[in-house]
Amino acid sequence: MNTIEFNEMWREKLLNRFLSYVKIYSTSDAESESTPSTERQWDIANYIVEELKTIGLEDVSIDQHGYIMAYVPSNLENDTQPTIGFISHYDTSPDFSGENVKPQVWENYQGEDLILNKETNFTLSPSKFESLKKHIGQTLITTDGNTLLGADDKAGCAEIVTAAEYLIAHPEIKHGRMAIGFTPDEEIGRGAHKFDVAKFGVEFAYTMDGSEVGELEYENFNAAGAVVKIHGLSVHPGYAFGKMVNASLLAAEFIQSLPANETPSTTKGFDGFYHLMDVTSDVSECKLQYIIRDHDDEKFEARKKFMEEKVAEFNQKHGEKTAEVEIKEQYRNMKQQFEGKMHIVDLAAKAMKEAGIEPKIKAIRGGTDGAQLSYMGLPCPNIFAGGMNFHGPYEYVALESMEKALEVIVNIVKA
């Protein structure tokens, strides 16, 4: 039985809210030490804050680091229910351009190739992305082939805000107190670093940051970032014999020293990997940015040690301090934080079933703010937001998937 009668007005609200969010440039930057890591994130943060005030939420706040909190009050006469939180992030990934996003809406998709950009013939095709076949008859939102879309995680933001607005507009739906939190910098692994758990004041929460409809996750990768710097010696190429040390060539050698079968494209399931994210290089200096991932704690520690050993071996061959590495831990697998607390996961699974969705409980090959928050004392599983093909120009989301996520939120709150 459906929880809500989601008429055309609410469908349009959800769609238009999402479209307004994705048009706001809010890419984060791992090189920055500030929070938020980019000034542009304040644009969407302040936009959302004004929306929440207009809708009528209580205690709307934004702190000096860009963390937003707000509340839908309980409408129960004798409220003994815990306050339940919902969290998403408003930054987008630096993996691909998030500037000047031009979303396109395709109604009644029939399984055909979608030419997103006629000038470049950039095409989104079910022959490459079979998931498109699951959305026949639905409304798709895509990019124009020049940017990512930002459904990760502006779909989650739009769903949470619209759910809050829906509950306020429908007092006949009896529910406990609902807390809302929005964070910056999740895409660079710092989304929960300065989140004030005590101020948020909830017993447990959910991040709306998953992908396909039905996803429900309470375990994830352990994660670290590694920066390898390689130092060369630049001299005029005409006089380089016996003198020049080309950092770019040394970097190519170092890259090849890591296991070729332990990358994102060669692993799946619970397999870990080393992922080269970015290379900045010339003759004199090279910087390699890696992420290190593994579900298993011991294997994760071994991976970090292996990276350090490879740098040490490299220096033995090419000279002391030719290379250096800095490894920073980003987040941990939250699974162990749910021992004795599986009712939180069960509640979400029940809410999905009430919405006609079969839960797909699996491990995330990635991470969410919920991973860090769970270690900060706030158990926080991850629920689907509907977006697909994150972090690139093939990203899309079905409006019907976002509607289902909204319905799950309402089901959880009223439970």
CA–CA gap between residue 75 and residue 374 (Å, rounded):
28
112-134 burial, b at 16+ Cβ within 10 Å, e below that, comes to eebebeeeeebebebeeeeebee
d(CA 112, CA 85): 39
Q: Please check whether residue 273 is in contact with residue 262, taking contact to mean a CB–CB distance below 8 angstroms.
A: yes
Between CA 92 and CA 349 the distance in angstroms is 28
Q: Which amino acid is at 73?
A: P
329 and 189 in contact (C-beta within 8 Å)?
no
CA-based R_g, the chain, Å: 23
Relative to beta strand 387-388, strand 215-217 is unpaired
Q: Which of 186, 209, 215, 369 is catalytic?
A: 186
Catalytic site residue 186? yes
Task: Give catalytic status of residue 296 as yes or no.
Answer: no
Distance between CA atoms of residues 68 and 161, nearest Å = 12
Return the bridge partners of 17, or none. none
Look at the chain and count its residues. 415
Among 91, 219, 369, 395, the active-site one is: 91
For the chain, the distance separating the N- and C-terminal CA atoms, rounded to the nearest angstrom, is 14
Alpha-carbon distance of 371 to 381, in angstroms, equals: 8
What number of other Cβ atoms are within 10 A of residue 137's Cβ?
11
Q: Is 284 helix (H, G, I), strand (E, B) or coil?
A: coil
Residues identified as active-site: 91, 186
